[in-house]
Amino acid sequence: DPSTSPPDNGSGLEELSMEEQERFEELLGQAQQAFEEDRFTHAVDLLKEAQVLYPHPRILYKMARAYERSGQLEPALTHYVLYLKSGDEAGDLEQIRAEVARLERRLEEPALVTLNTSPQGAAVHVDQQPVGVTPLRHRVTPGEHTVQLVMKDHHTELIYLEAKPGDDLLIERNLEPSYFAIMFKEDDLLAKRRRARVLGASSAALGVGSGALFLLARSRARQIDEQEANSNDTSRQEIDD
């Protein structure tokens, strides 16, 4: 357990076998090399193995630095605090306390989420609370959140996100029309077409004097036919997509 690391008095190291001592020194050397090569996650793994062989406060400090450089702020803070509690006085304690305070502030820093939808104007709910409509820039606390994008006659988008402190996140979605919205649109076009046909038939029955009315009805029916064709093309494209 890293929290039970002994003070830096060298006791215990001689109790390891020669093979274990050699492995311990090898792990520390490899961890230092990995750190210098910016392979911080690998450095953490090596230090963990070394800590199992010989728990030591200095390893806690090295792990805290590697965690921080890899962007893992929470375990970095945890290991800095464990080091301070270990009683080891070899490090710059004031500097480490300042680093702890800085990390605590960073872990509370909100993340910025930018949301765009096509079409625009979707209602945005974060953790079931309405926060505005797209396009939208909204700040959230670090952690896990649910985002809903809601628009009439379109499928609702449900998004799960994990925001880290200071993150700048971009969410873009194409909202798909709902099946019923497409069907209602087609039914409306058909109804308009029927009304135009009835108008044309009625004007024709009235005689030659109603020729202008007949032409208007025929023009209206042609427009509705074009709308219906465009609507069908769009529906087929949405299904293909």
Angstrom distance (rounded) from CA 32 to CA 40: 10
Per-residue pLDDT, 108? 85
Structure tokens given for 192: 């308009």
Give pLDDT tens digits for 149-201: 998 888 888 999 988 888 899 999 898 887 665 555 555 555 555 555 554 55
Q: Report, as an integer, the average pLDDT of 28-38.
A: 93
Question: What is the DSSP track for 151-210?
Answer: -TTBPPEEEEEEEPTT-EEEEEEEPPBPHHHHHHHHHHHHHHHHHHHHHHHHHHHH-GGG
CA distances to 14, 160, 166 from 146, in Å: 53, 5, 18
Strands 123-126 vs 143-150: parallel, antiparallel or unpaired: antiparallel
Which structure tokens are listed for 16? 């390891």
Chain segment 50-84, per-residue pLDDT in tens: 999 888 888 999 999 999 999 888 999 999 999 99
